[in-house]
Amino acid sequence: MNFSVEKNEILKTIGLMQSIIEKKKTLPILSNILINVDDEKSTIEATDLEITLISKFNCETIRKGSITVPAKKLYDIIKELPNENINIEKIENNFIKLKTIKTEYKLLGLPEEEFPKKTIINKTSNINIDKEIFIKAISMTSPTISQDDTKFNLCGLYIQSEDNKINFVSTDGHRLSKYSTEKINDTRIDNGIIIPRKGLIEIKKILEQSELINIYIENKYILIDNDIINLYVRLIDGEFPNYKKVIPEKNSFPIKLNRQILNDAVRRISIMSNDVTKNISLIFSNKILIIEASNNDYGTAEEKIEIDYIGDQIKIIFNSRYLLDLFNSTNCENINLYIKDNMSPCLFTDGDLEKFLSVIMPMRL
């Protein structure tokens, strides 16, 4: 293997791989990237066995071949080289030689045969999801994905087609988010899929830098293809809970709240919340919402907001972080809040369109 490449061309490609490569080095080969140079197409590939990223790059091929090399070390080397063409050649004993006009490195790699084989997807089941809608759905539902790896079926985003809609749902057991959009053409994901948390981060990166994409679901993988990059993400093999059971019915008139005003008030008052539980109280009285927090070590805080609520006083204790995550995940002007009592799940929807909803459980202290 021998090729010449512009510094920025290969640096950009290897940079994409850094968040995928295995950091713990349980398997040394997973800290490496596979460089494959051919006359027609040259690629660089990284995998952690759950996510595989393959990217084409432009180079001048002198001799075809393949090798795997440490991704982080190669990136650090190339980043410090001057802005000029780099010659990269595979030499004896699985070394590669990187050479510019004045600088030369020899970097030890591993045989390409040790690199895991990628999953084959036939690209026959194209899924029509608008790129911007997919990005929005990920942004709005990511905060409520579980961080508890023992609840593996909650550690991702659930996507399912239903009637004329596609639903994107996530929950961590304390709160839930759901974003719905109209189904495009005959897109069907009847049984639903769960895309893992780390895979979603990588999918969002590719979507944000792509003009056109194709999405395929096959062999328990989702593939994002933009002609230059192929991103394979293994789906979570588990059953997502029946989320509809925890979404409360709208059994009252909504309390309309200005999202930005409420966000700012909660952020200010939460400064005095308990450092561990982050709890604050929302007290709904006639025409007034009182937001309170107290901290045994520092003191108390209170703020009043005018609202359109009329009824009996209700005091609900929330984790302030959950509220702030909700307010920051949508950009709607107003949020509708449906409450029943101080212990029942609270339903938030995004103003008039109601494409997005969130359920937050009150805290019991």
The pLDDT profile of the chain, 365 residues, written as one tens digit per residue, is: 999 999 999 999 999 999 999 877 678 999 999 999 998 899 999 999 999 999 999 999 999 999 999 999 999 999 999 999 999 999 999 999 999 999 999 999 999 999 999 888 888 778 878 899 999 999 999 999 999 999 999 999 999 988 888 999 999 999 999 999 887 666 778 789 999 999 999 999 999 999 889 999 988 999 999 999 999 999 999 999 999 999 998 877 899 999 999 999 999 999 999 999 999 999 999 999 999 999 999 999 999 999 999 989 999 999 999 999 999 999 899 999 999 999 999 999 997 667 999 999 999 97
| Burial class of residue 239, CB neighbours in 10 A (0-12, 13-18, 19+) | exposed
161, 189 contact by CB (below 8 A)? yes
Which tokens is 151 given? 């609840």
> What pLDDT shows up at residue 278?
96
* Amino acid in the structure at residue 188: R
Collect all residues with Cβ–Cβ distance below 8 Å to 347 and sequence separation of at least 6: 247, 248, 250, 337, 338, 357, 358, 359
181 has which bridge partners? 166
Helix (H, G, I), strand (E, B) or coil at 77: helix
Cα–chain-centroid distance for residue 363?
A: 27
Which tokens is 68 given? 């795997």
Phi, psi values for residue 23, rounded to 5°? -90, -30
Expressed in angstroms, the distance from the first to the final Cα of the chain is 65
CA distance 109 to 33: 9
| Burial class of residue 125, CB neighbours in 10 A (0-12, 13-18, 19+) | middle
Q: Which of 142, 360, 153, 357 is nearest to 241 (CA)?
A: 153
> What pLDDT shows up at residue 12?
95
CA distance 16 to 3: 20
Which tokens is 79 given? 């980043």
Helix spans in 174-275 (H)? 197-208, 259-269
